[in-house]
Structure 1
Amino acid sequence: MSSSFEEKTIKSEKIFSGKIISLQVDDVELPNGKYSKRELIKHPGAVAVIAITNDGKIVMVEQYRKALERDVVEIPAGKLEKGEEPSLCAKRELEEETGYVCESLDWLISFYTSPGFADELVHLYVARGLEKKEDAAPPDEDEFVTLVELTLEEALEYIEERKIYDAKTAYAVQYLQLQEALKK
């Protein structure tokens, strides 16, 4: 897809390179010939999993998010390792964060989280046929989560109560709500 709104990069300067993200500032030429700066976050990409138990509950985790200075309830998710296949990452994150493994894992959609300043692409999957694994892979050493299993109605209440407060999880819940409505 070609765009007449393309911004040409004149200069790019890496400002920070961390464990998960890097930050760069680009000088760009705008379509009208003027110049501007763009502050950009580079991210390796991530996965998120809508995991549905055999009795129809949505598997989530509650964890503290430093950027928000509060606990939130989210669907299992995590960043891609270099060269990692998104579906394998989704299975790994599901097991590490919840202790569940799945019989089926289907890709639903991929979306950019904040394209105005970041290139993070999240691959969203639906996992079914869940089984709790006794010797599940542990969470990352800096990750502390509590397992939460909610009905669709409870998840919708969590959105209203702002316990669910992130876009990927709200998207997941609304996707399930739409699927339920289409069955009727």
Structure 2
Amino acid sequence: MSTPIDKKFEEITISSQPIFEGRVISVHVDTVQLPNGAMSTREIVRHPGAVAVLALLDDRMLVVEQYRKPLERSQIEIPAGKLEPGEDPAEAAKRELEEETGYRCANLKHLSSFYTSPGFSDEILHLYVAEHLVEGNIHLDEDEFLECEAITLEQAQQYIREQRISDAKTVAAVYAWQLYKLTGRF
């Protein structure tokens, strides 16, 4: 009899100790029993989840440039942000798009949901594509400082080579856009 794939390497949590409770994340150290019966510890970052939007405007992609403290430099990224408790990811994507770029979308399509770093975090990111944009007003959070611009696919590819774009969600969005331009499908 075979073991179900989701239980094959299961680690059973014996205890979980909260280490840090922040505004965005919490950190726990879990004691786990491994499949062979041995004990180990796992440091886990808990995150409420996030959304990101590949927003297309007249054959250009909307991006924002902002400073990322963990990297000690500015990054160019697609609009994104964390989910509020109980918030629908599609509604969060629309909210983040308007807050960061000033644009609203008539059409929003879910492309993928993926875990950003499953080795230590439970953060899931929901990636959407937005087309048929309508200009509105930017509504930045009081601790947000960024600039929005619309770039071509060629510029996005150049920014990846220069590492001005180097976060996974934006790189994935650029490749999804490139595939769309080649095939007509996301």
Common fold by TM > 0.5: yes
Inter-partner Cα distance in structure 1 for 2:63 and 2:45: 27
Question: With structure 1 as the length reference, what TM-score do the two structures score?
Answer: 0.95
Question: With structure 2 as the length reference, what TM-score do the two structures score?
Answer: 0.94
Corresponding residue of 1:174: 175
Q: What does residue range 14-29 of structure 1 map to in structure 2 within 5 Å? A: 14-29=18-33
1:182 to partner: Cα distance: 2.1
SS in 2 for 1:19: coil
Corresponding residue of 2:118: 115
Work out whether 1:8 is the aligned partner of 2:12: yes
Letter in 1 for 2:11: E
Residues 101, 138 of structure 2: 8 Å contact kept: no
Runs of 4+ in 1 over 3 A off after TM superposition: none
Q: What does residue range 89-128 of structure 1 map to in structure 2 within 5 Å? A: 89-128=92-131
Deviations along 1:159-183, whole A, 9 cap, x unmatched? 0010001000000001111122225
Work out whether 1:37 is the aligned partner of 2:41: yes
Corresponding residue of 2:145: 144
Letter in 2 for 1:6: E
Inter-partner Cα distance in structure 1 for 2:134 and 2:56: 11
Letter in 1 for 2:159: Y
Letter in 1 for 2:152: T
Inter-partner Cα distance in structure 2 for 1:97 and 1:137: 6
Inter-partner Cα distance in structure 2 for 1:148 and 1:165: 17
CA-based RMSD: 0.9
SS in 2 for 1:26: strand
1:137 to partner: Cα distance: 4.9
Residues 63, 150 of structure 2: 8 Å contact kept: yes
1:3 to partner: Cα distance: 2.0
Inter-partner Cα distance in structure 1 for 2:59 and 2:7: 44
Corresponding residue of 2:70: 67
SS in 2 for 1:178: helix
Inter-partner Cα distance in structure 1 for 2:180 and 2:98: 25
Letter in 2 for 1:16: F
Residues 54, 78 of structure 2: 8 Å contact kept: yes
Corresponding residue of 1:86: 89
- Number of matched residues? 180
1:138 to partner: Cα distance: 1.2
Q: Which runs of 5+ in 1 are unaligned?
A: none
Letter in 2 for 1:32: N
Inter-partner Cα distance in structure 2 for 1:92 and 1:51: 13
